[in-house]
Amino acid sequence: MKTFTLHGTDIIVPNVVLGLMRIAHKTDEEIRALVGAAREAGIDFIDHADIYGPTTHACERRFAEAMRLTPSEREALTIQTKAGIVPEGPYFDHSYEHIVASVEGSLRALDTDHVDILLLHRPDALVEPEEVARAFDDLQAAGKVRAFGVSNHTPRQVDLLRRYVRQPIVANQLQLSITHAPIITQGLASNMAGEPQSVTLDGGGVLDHARLHDITVQAWSPFQAGFFDGVFLGSPEHAELNGVIDRLAEKYDVPPIAVATAWITRHPARMQVVLGTTTPERVTGAAQGSELDLTRPEWYELTRAAGHRVP
């Protein structure tokens, strides 16, 4: 498993992450088997959010109930959670009060005295960055959060926060897969008039911005064909892409899910892949993509097979 240190911290992280947004109704044994498979594969980074599950903090609570971590087991994990979405609205809230209250709730649910990373889950149009900065300062000073980041933010939204927040923004969690890749493919068709792929979305240049500022991109839904519309692996709607994936899987003697993982981890931006599966075997298979270095021709062949314009 490839690892690296998050910029501005001493937190060493793997490039594949276990996301636990779907464990609310899993048994203790199922949760332990899932986390155990991840640990066996070298994945010691756990991704949560306060809204995951049928009620606030439900998945965080189930994780703590099932795992019952000892202090040494807790220290062996990097636990990340998110705040900022109010599902009762729904609306977004990056006020000082909401951020701090959400973290307090996460700490109780996770049965821990700190989380390693806190992300602001979705942009809040009414954000007052001074309040975010105060919340981050107080949470860090109290030892309740070690590092901070964002999720689904544009470059300018990140820059606004960076103007006020003293801590480095260490991560931006964004949707990314071979088939849903505008943060990469927009740049491949830049200034090509009439080419839909060239249209600038979400502020444009989000991946380059992250690289310039040492922000780790965390890819969520890495196997989704689009915005929550099913996986591309094995889908007849993506026959050409799966043909290439299967050929490369056979060449490297790995499952197809490892090739889909490797398309992201091969990128020099040094991204993390956030797995959402609850199947231990798929976690094990995806983890094999961590160190699979696709060649340039292979990476671009996958990109073209996914339907992206590669001039």
Q: Known catalytic residues?
A: 52
Look at residues 181, 282, 286 and name the one whose alpha carbon lies nearest to residue 224.
181
Helix/strand/coil (H, E, C) string of 27-50?
CHHHHHHHHHHHHHCCCCEEECCC
Tokens of 47: 């991704």
Location of structure tokens 């600038």: 200
Residue 212 CA to its chain's centroid (Å): 19
141, burial (CB in 10 Å: exposed 0-12, middle 13-18, buried 19+): exposed
Q: Label residue 71 left, alpha or beta by phi (over 0 means left) and psi (-120 to 50 means alpha).
A: alpha
Q: What SS3 class is residue 13?
A: strand
Location of structure tokens 């797995």: 275
Q: What SS3 class is residue 217?
A: strand
Q: Label residue 253 left, alpha or beta by phi (over 0 means left) and psi (-120 to 50 means alpha).
A: left
The DSSP bridge partners found for residue 80 are 47, 117
